[in-house]
Amino acid sequence: MSPSRRSVLTAAGAALASFDLKGADAPDRPVADEIAGLIRRSADANAALMRGDIERYRALITLTDDFTLMSPFGGRPTRGAEMTAERWEAMGRFFRNGTLEQEVVHAYGSGDMVVLAVIERANVEVGGLPAQNWSLRVTLVYRKEAGSWRLAHRHADPIVESMSLAQAATIARGERV
């Protein structure tokens, strides 16, 4: 088993371990199995994206019609209708030659909604820059529609390391750090 596949399965197991499957508020086994599947799918899809393989990403992840993306680079949120074929192709060119490790911080699930809180650690060429480490805190919201899990929301930010209140205030004011 490859190291990346092993880490995905380890992360899925760790996320399920965070549920007390015997407790009163634990998800039932089918929901827990679906959560584990979404954890694996998210890791596989985002690893493909870091390689620039947008076709594989799109084969694994389907967006809801009301999808929102809050990019780690800031700015106005993107809506699902804005995800045109050209934009998908550009996204595939934006990322190159990358690897991804996904750490599951926590996973929440109910009958038709799953939320994954993860840290994505990539080493990737982004936007023509040389390869470097990129770590993101990410929240993924999946919603079940017509029997299929679709991504409804993705929020990512690069603030994995702690910062001071003064640094956060500078960013909040819209000033450069």
Going by pLDDT thresholds of 50, 70 and 90, the confidence category of residue 137 is: very high
Residue 35 lies in a domain: yes
Phi-psi domain of 120 (left: phi exceeds 0; alpha: psi -120 through 50; beta: other): beta
Spell out where 81-112 has E strands. 95-109
The pLDDT of residue 129 is above 50: yes
Indicate which CATH number applies to the domain containing 145.
3.10.450.50
What does the DSSP 8-state code read for residue 175?
A: -
Report helix, strand or coil for 92: helix
Domain span at residue 43?
A: 3-172
Residue 103 lies in a domain: yes
> Count H helices, E strands: the chain?
5, 6
Task: Give tens-digit pLDDT for 59-99.
Answer: 999 999 999 999 999 899 999 999 999 999 999 999 999 99
Whether this prediction's pTM lies above 0.85 is answered by no
Q: End-to-end distance of the chain based on CA atoms, in angstroms?
A: 42
Q: Measure Cα distances from 5 to 9, 10, 11, 63, 99 in Å.
A: 6, 9, 10, 24, 12
Residue with tokens 């929901």: 31
Domain total in the chain: 1
Residue 177 lies in a domain: no
Residue 139 lies in a domain: yes
Selection from 87, 98, 170 nearest residue 130 by Cα? 98
Task: Give tens-digit pLDDT for 5-59.
Answer: 444 444 444 444 444 333 335 556 768 889 999 999 999 999 999 999 999 999 9
